[in-house]
Amino acid sequence: MAALSPTFRRHAVVSACLVSAIGFTLTLPTAGSAAPKPTEAELRKDLAKLHKKIDALIEEYAAKRESLKKAQKAESVAKENLRKAEATYTEAKREVDSIVQLGYQSNSGALPPMLLFSGDMSGAAVMEQLTAQQSAYLEGFARSRERREQAAARAGKLIDEIRDETEEVEDRRRDAEKLIKDIKKKLDQLIPLGSGRRSDGSWIPQLPNGVDNITDRTRNMREIIKRRFDLTHVVGCYRYDTFGEHPLGRACDFMMSSGGAMPSAAGTKLGDEIAAWAVKNRNKLGVKYVIWRQRINHGSGWRFMSDRGGVTANHYDHVHISML
């Protein structure tokens, strides 16, 4: 056996060290290595937890709203009590001021001399009556002033409570919206790719199949949207008595109302969400274009369509999604 050259031995040692280092690196995760992608089961579990959190937030939000209504009603009552107390206070103050003015004009702290030294004894009775009246006015003045201060304090306290309640409700609403966005993001991670996509991103033509007579990509899109959104009306896909992609099994209409009526505000909002979602995920699903509210989007932005003469014909009551 021939002797190994020094150069070969040196290369062999270096190679062995590299193999050992690579093997060690593969067996131990590094700080910079990417975390494993969560499985569908793990994502579904996370979504279930988030749904529970949102349900709890919705309940708490509703409770806070009720509490806020009660606080606002109590504030209204307190303000009315304050208004009445102010009116009573003003009247009592006016009466006291008149009595003080009467005493000042008589150069005494009580009544004019003509009442104290009248020819008959009726002056004493009048004096007694006016003295009692003065005392009553003074007591009424003190009570009304106390009620006024109490009503003002209650109103101020309720205003502070309402402000705190409102801020807390807004915090809860923002928390709920954040969780909803997280859920939507996770749901979008679960979107299965449409079948028949080539490596270059193009799509293999598909024929309709199954009892619903639509393509696999169309069926995939329809079922995902049904799971993704809380649909309120019917979904229609295959139709033979029309033109375009419907008779080819490559389009679905997601109704936002029925009977050719304009959708409600909630229906319009839902249609906006579905249309935007379909455009956003068109490359995953194989969407050809989306039509909604007399506008069409092939993926490069919305543009208006010509007037076809009606709510349904102009796609105001349904979102139309065509597939490649």
Is 67 inside any structural domain? yes
Please indicate, yes or no, whether residues 173 and 224 belong to a single structural domain of this protein: no
Please indicate, yes or no, whether residues 79 and 160 belong to a single structural domain of this protein: yes
Order of all β-strands in the sheet with 295-297: 235-236, 251-255, 318-323, 287-291, 295-297, 302-304
Please indicate, yes or no, whether residues 114 and 241 belong to a single structural domain of this protein: no
Domain that holds residue 112: 42-189
Which amino acid is present at 261? Answer: A
pTM of the model: 0.57
Please indicate, yes or no, whether residues 52 and 172 belong to a single structural domain of this protein: yes
Contacting residues for 64 by C-beta, under 8 A, at least 6 apart: 165, 168, 169, 172
- Please report, for the domain that includes residue 90, its CATH number: 1.10.287
- pLDDT for the residue 122: 58
SS3 of 119, please? Answer: coil
- pLDDT for the residue 35: 65
- pLDDT for the residue 21: 41
Is 203 inside any structural domain? no
Pick from 281, 176, 264: nearest CA to 224 = 281
Q: What is the residue-level pLDDT of the chain in tens, covering all 324 positions?
A: 444 444 444 444 444 443 344 343 434 445 455 667 666 667 767 777 777 777 777 787 777 777 777 777 777 777 777 777 777 777 777 776 776 666 556 555 455 555 444 555 555 666 666 667 667 767 776 777 777 777 777 777 777 777 787 788 778 778 877 877 787 777 777 788 888 999 998 999 999 999 999 999 999 999 999 988 989 999 999 998 888 899 999 999 999 999 999 999 999 999 999 999 999 999 999 999 999 999 999 999 999 999 999 999 999 999 999 999
